[in-house]
Structure 1
Amino acid sequence: MTVHHTLVCLLNDKNIGFKTVSVSSSPSIDKLKEIYKHNVRTLNDIIKYCRNNNITSYRIPSSIFPLLTHPNYHEKLFAMLCNEIQPMFKYIDFSGIHFSCHPDQFILLSSLNENVVQNSIFELNMWGYISSFIPIDLVNIHVGTKQKGFNYHRDILLSAFLKLDKKTQSLISLENDEKSYNFSETLQMALLANCMVVPDFHHERCFQRRINYNMSLKECDDIIYDNIDKIFSTYDKALPTFHISSPKNGWGVNFKDNCSHSDYISYDDYPHYIHTFSKSVRLDVEAKHKNDAIFAIHNFL
């Protein structure tokens, strides 16, 4: 059994980074081609770094191909991606590392806004395509809004999920959040959609302690651990995946402060019990100091 600690997108090194651009700057296709090629080279550098430093899981940044799904750019950028960028990936060694991605917060299959749902479907299907040349086996999203109640948004999400390409459906995971959907509700939604669930320990702690501040971290975590068989049942080929982070200023009474991410994962916040699982898992380390936070975990384990 192995716990694969995931590097989330970036290194804690200002000299190595991805480039992006906003639509407001009206970038040319040539400019975007330059950015795409730079980002592929950066990805290769980070993968090499991971392999050389015993980091065996990596989350691809959601903005690796800027504006790819924007209606004003998609047709030309997709053609460029297929014809000029995709061949570059033949020279990247992906072996020995598990890959996932986490599209941004605006990807919502449960939204009341039909345009948001349709755009989310389009974006997620694009990640399904990208997984044909980057070996991503998990595309993680949040359930989204709960404005009209669980059942109402459940029906929207389940309907939207069925409109995804079959390949994309097999990659989707749902993650609990700190405000709307706790872990139990997210697990229920994932079981209904027949997709993977990603328990976030920090989000569940924030959610539960907003309701009852005296609830211990162990009591919060036990909500997840008590459902471990159901969690594992949602996975087939991908590693069961979890998220961890620590509050920036330690645990206090302020909900917003508790939700913020620290530079490192504290020993007390780390979910040590996962090392007793019968299966290998992936643990995304959501800490600002990125690879250095992973090394700190390796040191205290």
Structure 2
Amino acid sequence: MILRFGYVSTALHLWESTPAHTLTFTNWKKLSKDEREDKLKRVTAQNIENTKRAIYYNIAQGIHVYRLSSSIVPLATHPEVLWDYITPFRDKFKEIGDLIHQYGLRVSFHPNQYTVFTSPNDRVTGNAVKDMEYHYEMLKMMGVHKQANMNIHVGGVYGDKETALERFHQNIEQLDPKVKTQVTLENDDKTYTSRETLDVCRAHSLCFVFDYHHFWANPWEEDELEALLPEIYATWDHNDYPPKFHLSSPKSEKEYRAHAEYVDLDFALPFIKSLVKYGKDADIMIEAKLKDKAMLQLVEEISKLRGYKRIDGAVIRV
């Protein structure tokens, strides 16, 4: 079986590489009309360039799984800004997409924690729809909108989990079917467990992104990982890629939900061994604070274990 590893957004091995430079709405308001447009374009151009640098780095390092930054375009969905980022940057996004296609990379987005479909506030739901459309538009400009996923959490509880879940089932249908098709759901560390998230995924034919750290912090008392794996994999049956998993380790015993800088091998091994026992390929997104540095260190550590052979920069054959 093949295990491919990836990282989130910023390649820390590169100098000044963040693809998430921003322009706040407060600072935007202080500028003149011409200055606003110029600043938005300059920041976006820098973020796109750094995204392309990360893609080239991934190709050179044998890293096949990568999460794109959600902040490439500043103020893209702000109701008082709503600027045209498509016309000036369509070709630049296509360049990135061409590289993704040429080298067979797997990319995704993870919209922020405010993109939820369980809120009783219609405005929150409306903003979530806009945010998902923004992410989909970027994928579409790259030409990867039929293969890349946008991963979100189920959302908040608002004092009544059952009612919140009913709202999710209703509100998610506000998405254009083409957008909804690319949505994946992830279990979280406080509210919706793996079992609950899996049930929502099945109800909407969505793929389930299993987060091991969240599973550990917020377990469903009757579930064990090995028993869940067949159900997790089944949600990806209609997809061309293997299931995607998230992996990080606790920052400390007290801050057990926070992500550590690196991934502790002892914490990760039960998860890795469960995947190996199941015997099917998997892609694993490392969510440690030190991003590609942490991912490459973990791959190096795993490759030293008996039966695990490193066949590319971030790929292990078991």
TM value normalised by structure 2: 0.83
1:52: which partner in 2? 60
1:216: which partner in 2? none
Displacement of 1:226: 0.9
Question: Is residue 188–residue 211 contact of structure 2 (8 Å, CA) maintained in 1?
Answer: yes
1:214: which partner in 2? none
2:123: which partner in 1? 115
Amino acid at match of 1:8: V
**Aligned equivalents of 2:291, 2:234: Cα separation in 1:** 30
- 1:1-301 equivalences in 2 (<5 Å): 1-13=1-13, 15-18=16-19, 19-26=21-28, 28-74=36-82, 77=83, 79=84, 81-92=85-96, 93-94=99-100, 95-134=103-142, 135=144, 137-208=148-219, 223-235=224-236, 236-237=238-239, 238-249=241-252, 252=253, 254=254, 257-270=255-268, 271-273=271-273, 274-301=275-302
Amino acid at match of 2:243: P
SS at match of 2:256: helix
Structure 1 runs not aligned, ≥5 long: 212-218
TM value normalised by structure 1: 0.88
Displacement of 1:23: 0.7
Alpha-carbon displacement from aligned partner over 1:246-277 (angstroms, at most 9, x marks no partner)? 1113xx3x3xx101111111111212122344
SS at match of 2:6: strand
Amino acid at match of 1:275: V
SS at match of 2:141: coil
Structure 2 runs not aligned, ≥5 long: 303-318
Amino acid at match of 1:240: P
**Aligned equivalents of 2:230, 2:161: Cα separation in 1:** 24
Runs of 4+ off more than 4 Å: none
Amino acid at match of 1:12: L
Question: Is residue 119–residue 158 contact of structure 2 (8 Å, CA) maintained in 1?
Answer: no
**Aligned equivalents of 1:106, 1:90: Cα separation in 2:** 28
SS at match of 2:218: helix
Amino acid at match of 2:173: L
Alpha-carbon displacement from aligned partner over 1:268-290 (angstroms, at most 9, x marks no partner)? 12121223444322211011111
RMSD: 1.9
SS at match of 2:265: coil
**Aligned equivalents of 2:272, 2:166: Cα separation in 1:** 36
**Aligned equivalents of 1:243, 1:182: Cα separation in 2:** 14
How many residue pairs align between the two structures?
A: 282
SS at match of 1:242: strand
Bigger shift: residues 21-30 or 197-206: 21-30
Amino acid at match of 1:119: N
% identical equivalent positions:
26
Question: Is residue 93–residue 138 contact of structure 2 (8 Å, CA) maintained in 1?
Answer: no
